[in-house]
Amino acid sequence: MTGQHQPLFYDTLAEWWPLFSPPDHYDEEAADILSRLAPHAGTGIATMLELGCGGGSLASHFKPYFTLTLTDRSPSMLAVSQAVNPECEHIVGDMRTLRLDRRFDVVLVHDAIMYATTPDDVRATIATAAEHCRAAGTVIVLPDYVRETFTPGTDHGGEDAKDGRGFRYLEWHWDPDPNDDTYIVDYAFLMREASGEVSVVHDRHVEGLFARARWLEWFAECGLTATSAIDQWGRDVFVARPMKGE
């Protein structure tokens, strides 16, 4: 994150997000997260803050269970989320520095944490989460990879819209230097307008990659007791709670 440009997909290409990662792609993952958030989930009055909500596709599944405050540093992505989640509060803010002077039952950081590419970025984000978590609350952080689980590979997908537009992508994640704290995700996007015109864009994302033990140390430094469990997709899910009361 430090010193990096904003990836095109979160800025000038944000309008295509619903065809890349729509809400129905998150059904199973949302259910898994909810199962880890008892007793907060299900009350209907519990509060959740999401840091780096992106287009709001994941958050859309939590609306029956939480009052949501959704934040992202990209106004373009927040606009996408507002269309999906018009009843939710949306705030432009960087997950490293955001301060709302409020506490929440749950603070969630999904894969936006991958753009914390230095130890200072990760610690600052966890500190933000801790600052906004109630004494009896929960912080949950879900990186795509930790150092121990990373393997290079590819993915692909995309959707069509009712208006004739279409979107397809190829994702290629690889690590040019296993001795540093980042890896690269290269995307090839093919975007078809309703007119039938197709454009092709390459978008490079630099993402953070840290050992599990370092993550647990950073939670402790921020006053949180954290555990890690591997979910059904092979990813670490960090669930943390404050060591001390408010």
- Separation between Cα atoms, residue 59 and residue 146, nearest integer Å: 23
The beta-strand segments (E) located in 86-197 are: 89-92, 104-109, 133-141, 153-157, 166-174, 182-192
- Residue spans of the domains in the chain: they are 8-146+209-242
**Beta-bridge mates of residue 107:** 49, 139
The vertex-93 CA angle with 185 and 225, nearest 5°, equals 75
pLDDT digits 0-9 by tens, 195-231 = 999 999 999 999 999 999 999 999 999 999 999 999 9
- Separation between Cα atoms, residue 66 and residue 140, nearest integer Å: 15
Residue 246's pLDDT is 47
- Separation between Cα atoms, residue 172 and residue 153, nearest integer Å: 6
Residue 244's pLDDT is 73
Q: Which helix (H) or strand (E) holds 19?
A: helix 17-20
Give every CB contact of residue 126 below 8 A, 6+ residues apart in sequence.
139, 141, 218, 219, 221, 222, 224
* Residue 79 burial (CB count, 10 A): 16
pLDDT block averages, 10 residues each, the chain of length 246: 69 96 97 90 85 98 96 98 98 98 97 98 98 96 98 98 97 97 98 98 98 98 97 97 76
pLDDT digits 0-9 by tens, 19-53 = 999 999 999 999 999 999 987 877 668 999 999 99
CATH fold for domain 8-146+209-242: Rossmann fold (3.40.50)
